[in-house]
Amino acid sequence: MNQGVWHGATGTAKLLGMRIDRDRPDGSALVSMTVTDDHTNRHGNMHGGLIATVLDTAMGATASLIRGERGAIPFSTIS
């Protein structure tokens, strides 16, 4: 299935400059972005909340590629 590369696929991805590649040979998704000073904490590292956002985007993009036997799309929640 050719899903292609999405640039700014969602409002959040667009705001942060994320690139979402869903056309990988192993069936995974890859999310990448260029980290600027606007994305860092006071120590100059990528902000933890932003790391969580990138992880959430990658997991969601990968999960959306998986369909069950009945065509259902799996999802997960964190509480």
Enumerate the domain spans of the chain. 5-63
Q: Is the pTM of this model over 0.75?
A: no
Instruction: Average the pLDDT over 2-10 and give the result.
Output: 59
Q: Do residues 6 and 20 make contact, with C-beta atoms less than 8 angstroms apart?
A: yes
- Strands 30-32 and 5-7, by their bridges, are unpaired
Q: Do residues 22 and 3 make contact, with C-beta atoms less than 8 angstroms apart?
A: yes
Distance CA 55, CA 78 (A): 13
Burial class of residue 9, CB neighbours in 10 A (0-12, 13-18, 19+): middle
CATH architecture for the domain at 5-63? Roll (3.10)
- Tell me what pLDDT residue 58 has: 82
pLDDT, tens digit (0-9, with 9 covering 90-100), for 16-62: 888 888 777 887 778 889 999 999 999 999 999 999 999 888 887 77
